[in-house]
Amino acid sequence: MPICHTVKPSVRVLAVALVLCAAPLNTYAESRSEWLFFPAVTAVHRTGLPQGDELERNHIEPVLDVLGTGGLSSMTWLAEIFVSEHEQELARLNVGWRLNPQNTLSIGKFHNLQGYWNTQFNHGAYLQTAIDKPGVVDDSAPLPLHYVGAQMEGKLVQWGEGLLNYSLGIGKGAVMKNGLVSPDIVGAGKLGDLSLGLRLSYTPDETSPTQAGVFFARNKIPVENSNWTGITQDVGGLFANWESDPFRVIAELYVFSNKLEGSGAMASGNFLYGYVQGEYRFSPRSTALIRMEETGGTNNDPLLALIPDFELNKQLIGLRYDVTWNQAVKIEASHVERLDTSYRQVQIQWSAVFP
C-alpha cells in the first residue's frame, strides 16, 4: 500500500491545510517558508530473539518525515509529520512569537527538553549519522518525548562570544498504556498530565555546533490498563556535543527518580542511563561511528517493568557513506540488551532529504 494512503485522515487534512495556509505567506516580501521531505528505507536482520517476540527477525520499513518551517514578521511556525508502516504521527506543530531579539514564546506540540538528541534531531533519518537512536529517545523510552503546551526559549547570558541559552516548557505529556504514548494535538487525543522541563546549554559562539549543558524535568504520567494509576517522574542530567573535524563526540547522562501509585500501594525506584557516541570522518563522504549505551542501578525498578522493550544496554558500530549531497547509505551492527532478553541485529538504510 502506498505510504501516503496509511496516514490518518485527521493528519492528512492538517497537512493539506498547512500547505494551503503556508502558500499565501510567500506573497509577502518579509515572509518565508520551507518544506523538507526525509524519506528512508531500513532493512533489519535480528538473531537471538525469543519465540513470539514483537520484533520481527527480518523486516524492511519505509518511512517519511515531512518538516515545514516558516514565519511572517515576528511570528514563526513549525510542523512535522511522521509516517511509517506502524505509525502515523503529527510529531510537532507549534506557532511562536519573537518577543524581542533574544526571546521567543511558542505554543503547540514540542519535543521534550531533555538532553541533546531529543532536542536537536527530528524524525528525518538523513540528519543523524547513525541509523538507531539511543534507547532513551526511542519509541520504548522510559520518559515522555513530546508535550503539548507552551515553551519559552532564548539567550540568557553572553560572555564574549560564548552564549548561555535556555528553554523552558510546560504542558501536558504522555500516557502510559502499552509503553508511553505521546499526546495528540489533533484527533481523539491522549493528553497526559503535567510535563515541566528546563534546559540550559552553553555554546562557544552563536554558529558553533559544539555545546554542553544540563536539563531538569518533572513528568506526571497517568497509567492505564494496570494496577498502577499514576507515575511521578523526576529526571535530570548532563549532555554535550563536541565537534572538531574530522571528529565528533555526543554524550548524555540521565538520572531517573520514579514513584508509582495505585490501589493503595506505592513503589519507587532510581536508575542511571548514559551513552557516548564517537564519530570519525575518514574521507569527505565516509564516517565511522561507535556508540555505547549503559543503564545502571535498575534494581527491579517498577517503571521499567511497565516498558520491558526499553533497551537497557547497547553496543553499536556503524558506517555512513554520503552517495550525493542529499542521499546517504548506512550500515550498522549492534548487540542489544532488554529487561527480558538480548539479541543482535544488522541494519542497512538509505536516507535522503528533498528538495
Q: What is the CATH number of the domain that holds 264?
A: 2.40.160.10
The angle at the Cα of 64, spanning 61 to 66, to the nearest 5 degrees, equals: 165
Residue 85 inside a domain? The answer is no
Which residues sit opposite 343 in a β-bridge? 336
pLDDT in tens, 242-268: 999 999 999 999 999 999 999 889 999
Contact 209, 179 (CB under 8 A): no
Parent domain of 103: 40-62+95-352
pLDDT of residue 283: 97
Contact 336, 140 (CB under 8 A): no
pLDDT of residue 187: 59
Residue 174 inside a domain? The answer is yes
> Residue 107's CB: how many other CB atoms inside 10 A?
15
pLDDT tens, N- to C-terminus, the chain (355 residues):
334 333 344 444 344 344 434 443 333 446 689 999 999 999 999 999 988 888 899 999 999 999 999 998 899 999 999 999 888 889 999 999 999 999 999 999 999 999 999 999 878 899 999 999 999 999 899 999 999 999 999 999 998 899 999 999 999 999 998 889 989 876 555 688 999 999 999 999 988 999 999 999 999 999 998 889 999 999 999 999 999 999 999 999 999 999 999 988 999 999 999 999 999 999 999 999 999 999 998 877 899 999 989 999 999 999 999 999 999 999 999 999 998 899 999 999 999 999 9
pLDDT of residue 14: 42
3-state secondary structure 43-80: EEEEECCCCCCCCCCEEEEEEEEEEEEEEECCEEEEEE
pLDDT of residue 29: 40
pLDDT of residue 19: 41
Residue 76 inside a domain? The answer is no
pLDDT of residue 28: 41
Q: State if pTM tops 0.95.
A: no
pLDDT of residue 189: 55
Residue 34 inside a domain? The answer is no
Residue 6 inside a domain? The answer is no
Residue 127 inside a domain? The answer is yes
114 Cβ neighbours under 8 A, 6+ residues apart: 143, 197, 199, 215, 217, 235, 237, 254
Q: What is the DSSP string of 24-45?
A: HHTTSTTEEEEEEEEEEEEEEE
pLDDT of residue 298: 84
Residue 219 inside a domain? The answer is yes
pLDDT of residue 259: 96
Domains contained in the chain, number? 1
